[in-house]
Amino acid sequence: MKTLFDSVSPRARMLLALTLILGLAMLAPLGGASATSVARGLLGAVALGGLGWWLMRRGQAESRFSLTERMRVVSRTGLSPRCGLALVEVDGTRYLVAFGDSFAEIRRTHGPVRVEKETGS
């Protein structure tokens, strides 16, 4: 059977548990508390609640945007033990990179060229 807390994140569960524990700790000595200490406790509870709300909102704001990779290695192969070749895509443009121990050369690739087959007559 599913409960209400099944869809709640572990972070939210921890914040709820922390809030409940702090609330119980603040209510324990209220038997002979003065108005000043009750006001201080309420102010602290509101501050902690605001901090928890801010932390929850901050985590959600980051997940709204999907950041695309600006650079990715499409494929890579070794030509020799000290030399390699890689096809790298940067902002949608592809580059061919030849690299070794003491050098690297970068060339921009051009789009694929289509060659039509000749039909035999």
CA torsion sign for 70, 66, 13, 47 is positive
Confidence of residue 120 (pLDDT cuts 50, 70, 90): low
The string of pLDDT tens digits covering residues 4-15 is: 666 777 788 788
The string of pLDDT tens digits covering residues 84-98 is: 999 999 988 899 999
Q: Which residues are registered as beta bridge partners of 83?
A: 80, 100
How far apart are alpha carbons 74 and 86 in whole angstroms? 8
- In the chain, the percentage of residues whose pLDDT exceeds 90 is 27
